[in-house]
A and B are shown apart, each in its own frame.
Chain A
């Protein structure tokens, strides 16, 4: 019974890991930004599944609502607002991509080698059994209360900043076209 349970856990783990990693790779290699956003959703779903396997149910739900429902939608809106047709036609990667790729693979090899040398205990017990959301709320509203309040201020600042930057200011644009290089279409 427990062996079956472990096999299922392992199978789900590998499935969600595959979703997260393959989605990530496809996200950064697509030419069309809309397809990138769609593969980002796949990757984020994989990460959400990993949260669920690790007994973090609240984060699983938060991940789906905030990331997939919120951030990806925002990305799609911006992709529609910003004309990306011109950007899709040109070269997608930097000229120095072979060096960057080698450096990235070296970083991956290094991280995995170092992780393999560390000693970690195998998971025992089940952290998510007794109401994960309740436990998280306890931590959030006692130990991390100040940080929680600060995050609300941060979100307010982000909202104000986004509105301010998204505003159209005709006098500034006139200045740009007079002095700056302006739009090179």
Chain B
């Protein structure tokens, strides 16, 4: 009984994964790794959605998680397309060197 896994455990794992992803976005200079960190964040959200879906014993949350996966795919495809165009034009993949719009 002491070993029962409650939704709270899933929410804590989700929160930690969200923080790891956020740290990745903020810390890294390489845009490829920043995009990977965004995938981590979206996965953390999905864990949350599925945990609540199970808690309320219905599939609405899982359907939402499926939409999150679809949006994540679209985001990754467009993001990597932008990255390739960026590399072709500027020759760098470091986020803090792309400061053309900065004063």
Contacts and interface: CB of A to CB of B under 8 A. Distances in A.
Contact of A3 (B1, B58, B90): B1
A19 B11 CA distance: 16
Interface of A: 3, 6-7, 9-10, 13, 17, 20-21, 24-25, 27-28, 30, 33, 36-37, 40, 43-44, 47, 50-51, 53-56, 58-59, 62-63, 66-67, 70-71, 74-75, 78-79, 81-84, 86-87, 90-94, 97, 100-101, 103-105, 107-108, 111-112, 115-116, 118, 120-123, 125, 127-128, 132, 135-136, 138-140, 143-144, 147, 151, 154-155, 157-159, 161-166, 168, 172-173, 176, 180-185
5 contacts: A79-B32, A115-B12, A143-B60, A158-B74, A162-B77
B24 A74 contact: no
Chain B: number of interface residues, binned into ranges: 35 or more
A27 B91 CA distance: 24
A115 B15 contact: yes
Interface of B: 1, 3-13, 15-24, 26-30, 32-33, 35-37, 39-40, 43, 46-47, 50-51, 53-55, 57-60, 62-63, 65-67, 69-78, 80-85, 87-94, 96
B36 A75 contact: yes
A10 B69 contact: no
Contacts of A33: 30, 32-33
Contacts of A100: 23, 26-27
B70 A138 contact: no
Contacts of A147: 67
A151 B67 contact: yes
Contact of B3 (A10, A20, A78, A185): A10
